[in-house]
Amino acid sequence: MFPGDFKLPKRSKKNVAYLVALSIGGLGGLTVSVTLLTFVLSAWLGLPLGIFGFNEGPDQPIKFPHKTHVEELGLDCTFCHRTVTTEASASVPSVSLCMTCHKSVGDGLEEIEKLRSIYASKGTIDWIRVHRVPDHAHFIHDSHVKHFSEKNNVAPAQTCSICHGDVAQMEKVSQARELKMGDCIDCHKKNNGPTDCSTCHY
């Protein structure tokens, strides 16, 4: 052969194993990349895909059974989220609020014992946020709750499901609506709300 001519490498078990490993690694990398890209795009354009548990909601420090409290005991959203009808943000329940009932109710239940332990140590429950709009957008809970409760002639707590879905039926609270700007604008147009930028961005 002349110098510079192409010469095939000798075929050996080592070379074949190397090529197989490279192929499997490349296929795995491609699969992971496509999965991540799909998740990011779906989360950006709307809700995360409901596969592989992406949109099932986070595990909270204490498993709070909404169904028990709402359907069985008849509590409404405003009992725990006390500021939802009076302030811009909806408060989350404090340990002391939970303990108004659970000082005497729930003996022997693991999650209640966890709650009592936090209360005894004067700690706080670090609830994980589920619903969030961007920091540069302002969502005023009390005005929305007031508007929809008056419009539909219902109790304030019955309006929460418009944005949050049927939380009473969720084992873990998850995001039920996109809560993107287009979603808000569509809702404002449908309900004769203001659509100028300064309404939410100030």
Q: Each residue of 88-133: pLDDT tens digit?
A: 999 999 999 999 999 999 999 999 999 999 999 999 999 999 998 8
Give the CA distances from residue 5 to residues 1, 2, 15, 35, in Å, rounded to whole numbers and listed in that order.
7, 6, 21, 43
132 and 121, same structural domain? Answer: no
What's the chain's average pLDDT? 88
Residues 26 and 4 in one domain: yes
Same domain membership, residue 133 and residue 80 = yes
> Residue 112: which domain range?
95-126
Tell whether the model's pLDDT for residue 1 goes beyond 90. no
* pLDDT of res. 81: 95
Which DSSP letter does residue 110 get? Answer: H
Q: CA nearest 91: which of 127, 67, 63?
A: 127
Task: Determine the Cα–Cα distance for residues 187 and 144; give it in Å rounded to an integer.
Answer: 11
Q: Are residues 198 and 161 in the same domain?
A: yes
Residues 33 and 61 occupy one common structural domain: no
Q: Do 148 and 193 share a structural domain?
A: yes
142 with 170, same domain: the answer is: yes
Q: Are residues 139 and 186 in the same domain?
A: yes
Q: What is the pLDDT of residues 158-189, one digit of tens each?
A: 999 999 999 999 989 998 888 889 999 999 99
- CB under 8 Å to 38, separation ≥6 — which residues? 49
pLDDT given for residue 146 in this prediction: 95
CA pair distance 118, 93, nearest whole angstrom: 13
DSSP 8-state code for residue 68:
I
- In total, how many domains does the chain have? 3
Residue 49: pLDDT over 70: no
